[in-house]
Structure 1
Amino acid sequence: MNIYVSNLSYHTSESDLRELFSAYGEVNSAKIITDRETGRPRGFAFVEMAQKEEGQRAIQGLNNTSVDNFDINVAEARPREERSQSRNSFQSYKRY
């Protein structure tokens, strides 16, 4: 189960998340998302739990709890939406 964690302190590490979530079950991965240009954390992460039931318990147990003095938000991750072509609509414009 993929879990979205937001409102993270910039001091929270992936190992901190792995340890926090492991209290609820097996953690497959923990990935803090960073800015492409600066490499700094963006304040959110994804944690993948081995079992859906364990992930649901982690969501219930950790949502709105304090980690590094920040009240984190924990929810099931939603699939990434496709980017609309409106940003690149100029590419479909043909010159005659």
Structure 2
Amino acid sequence: MSSEEEMLLVGGLNFNTDKQVLEDHFSSFGPISEVVVVKGQETQRPRGFCFTNFTNPEHASDAMKAKNGESLGSHQIHVEHVGKSGRAPEGMPLGPRDMVTDRVGGNQGYGSGQCDS
């Protein structure tokens, strides 16, 4: 993630929500460099949250303000900044680089996670 990018944590997702739906849902705010859908290591199933990287921090802030508490599919989602460190907010100790993921775009060198192309 470049120093200009801003990462958002999106929680409360329906387990069937895929990376394309998320990219479509957030891309109206500006360019997205990466969407990382987090999966359980043992089950390989989505865990109900993702990380979304915007190429512009202002776009990320706009998306967070507009989409936090909104419905996506049948679920109310929660959107918050992760911050420049790439670490998740308190209560979620791991960032996307430490998780099994299904991602679109961006650096494919993240940790030892698994991705579905």
- TM value normalised by structure 1: 0.81
- TM value normalised by structure 2: 0.67
Structure 1 partner of 2:7: 2
Displaced runs of 4 or more, over 2 A: 78-82
Q: CA RMSD in A?
A: 1.4
- What stretches of structure 2 of length at least 5 have no aligned partner? 1-5, 88-92, 95-117
- What stretches of structure 1 of length at least 5 have no aligned partner? 83-96
Give the drift of 1:11.
1.1
Structure 1 partner of 2:108: none
Distance in 2 (CA, whole Å) between partners of 1:67 and 1:55 is: 17
Q: Which has the larger radius of gyration?
A: 1
User: What SS is found at the alignment partner of 1:45?
Assistant: strand
Structure 1 or 2: larger helix share? Answer: 1
Picking from 48, 52, 55, the partner of 1:50 is: 55
Number of residue equivalences: 82
Encode CA deviations 1:33-62: one digit per residue, 9 max, x unaligned: 000111000111000000000000000010
Structure 2 partner of 1:72: 77
Picking from 28, 32, 35, the partner of 1:23 is: 28
Query: Quick one: percent identity of the two aligned structures?
Result: 27
